Amino acid sequence: MPSVQNVLIVGGGAAGCAAAILFARDGATVELAEIKPEESALGSGITVQGNALRVLRQLGVWDEVQAAGYAFSTLGLRAPDGTLLVEMDDVRTGGPDLPATLGMYRPALARILTQAAVAAGAKLRYATTVRSLRSDGSGVDVTFSDGATSRYDLVIGADGVRSQVRSLLGIELETRPTGMGIWRVFTSRPASVTRTDLYYRGACYIAGYCPTADDSLYAYLVEDAQDRSGLSPQEQLAVMRELAAHYHGPWDDIRAVMTDPGRINYTRFETHLLDPPWNRGRVVLIGDAAHTCPPTIAQGAAMALEDAAVLADVLLAADDLDQAAFDTFTARRYERVRTVVTESVQLGQWMLDGVEGNVPALMGKVMGLVSQPA
């Protein structure tokens, strides 16, 4: 008899949906509890790198992702005045038959993954979370926010950086700010933007952009973290436009279409990494619930998707859901994730400290690592 016949997944982000698809496809009964009342219609863009695309292909959604996103395999480095300093082939971390990078509108990726999870058989419950979890040798008793109770062979906490599942397990994990904040805008794509270009220095630490479809892109400016919460949407737009005015070349075209205050977003970078193991009994944490990194290398969602793929690979092959099975999972993930988190933080720290770090060596190390199968 399979060791996982019924599973509860808490959190319907990339990690949760990926796990739902893989466990449901293998024949397990899967319930997915998502705290949001419905699918998000608005959001920003996301840079999806090759190793994440490799997992999306394994999930069976690559064709849809490719159709909805914007793929490219070169990267540009520019000076603030717009001068193109370097144009390089980007590492195809998912293998030669996948692009190095694909930009996507986040809600489009979320919709594809959610629909695939439901099509695989997962039962998705919006506006639902867990109130209590009690794991014993053979299963987990769960009480939901609506008072319902149920028992599962396995509970997967994929509920993001402030994971409630993690709290219910009594795990204390300090999520610390890294010192940077990011402005993002989602807008129409000028013809001059056909891939990501990064501008280091100038008024911000990083200014960059990523096409997300033929007709859209997201662009970002990374600054010292500060409290921007008191700004109205109009004021946010004004601040971002003022910062963007320090950058030229394609940024001039982007600035011209930065007009909708409703499409500006400000977030501060944070990080944490849970020591092994990532389970307590039959409850296991994946994705941002276990580790989070600033998006300086754009690997967070990739790590979340890989966690789900490795968890399914290990647990669906296990004869028993004993600690050895969970240790095997964490062992396959920990060093890879630790390196990505550490180097993502380091990259930002060099900029904060004004230190000339060896960025090519750091990027080469991370890209080499994530090019290996998870």
Q: What is each CA distance from 27 to 23, 152, 324, 372, in whole angstroms?
A: 7, 15, 23, 28
Residues 259-318 contacting ligand FAD, CB under 6 A: 267, 287-288, 295, 298-302, 304
Distance CA 153, CA 236 (A): 47
Residues 222-251 that bind ligand FAD (CB under 6 A): none
Q: Report, in Å, the least distance between residue 178 CB and ligand FAD.
A: 11
- The verdict on 104 binding ligand FAD (CB under 6 A) reads no
Within 33-72, which residues bind ligand FAD (CB under 6 A)?
Answer: 33-36, 46-47
Complex with ligand FAD: residue 94 or 248, whichever CB lies closer: 94
Tell me if 158 contacts ligand FAD by CB under 6 A. Answer: yes
How near is the Cβ of 329 to ligand FAD at its closest, in Å?
15
In 176-203, which positions are buried (b, 16+ CB within 10 angstroms) versus exposed (e)? eebbbbbbbbbbbbbeebebbbebbebe
Element (H, E) at 351: helix 323-353
The neighbour count for residue 115, using CB atoms within 10 Å, is 15
Residue nearer to ligand FAD on the CB measure, 158 or 258: 158
x/- mask, ligand FAD, residues 179-218, rule CB under 6 A, reads ---x------------------------------------
Q: Is residue 348 at the binding interface for ligand FAD, with CB under 6 A as the rule?
A: no
User: In this complex, which beta carbon is closest to ligand FAD, that of residue 139 or of residue 160?
Assistant: 160
User: C-alpha 254: how far from its chain's center?
Assistant: 24
153 by DSSP, 3-state: which?
coil
Cα 305 to Cα 59: distance, rounded to the nearest angstrom? 10
CB of 218 to ligand FAD, least distance (A): 9
The set of residues, in sequence order, having a beta carbon less than 8 Å from that of 186 and lying 6+ positions away, is 43, 44, 45, 105, 212, 216, 217, 218, 263, 265
Interface residues toward ligand FAD, by CB under 6 A: 10-16, 33-36, 46-47, 129, 158-160, 164, 182, 267, 287-288, 295, 298-302, 304
